[in-house]
Amino acid sequence: MERKKRNDRILAGGLLALAAVFLAGARLARRDAGRIAQVDIDGQTVWELPLSRDTELLLENKNGGVNRLVIRDKKASVTEASCPDQICVRQGGAGDSGQTIVCLPNRIVITIR
Please give the residue ranges that form the binding site for Zn ion (CB under 5 A).
Answer: 81, 83, 88, 103
Provide the minimum distance between the beta carbon of 70 and Zn ion in the complex, in angstroms, as a whole number.
14
In the complex, minimum distance from the CB of residue 96 to Zn ion, in angstroms, rounded to a whole number: 20
Minimum Å distance from CB 78 to Zn ion?
A: 7
Cβ proximity to Zn ion, 51 vs 81, nearer residue = 81
- Shorter beta-carbon distance to Zn ion: residue 67 or 112: 67
* Cβ-based neighbours of 105, under 8 Å, separated by 6 or more: 65, 83, 84, 85
Which C-beta is closer to Zn ion: that of 36 or that of 78?
78
Nearest distance from C-beta of residue 87 to Zn ion, angstroms: 5
Q: Which is nearer to Zn ion, 8 or 85 (CB)?
A: 85
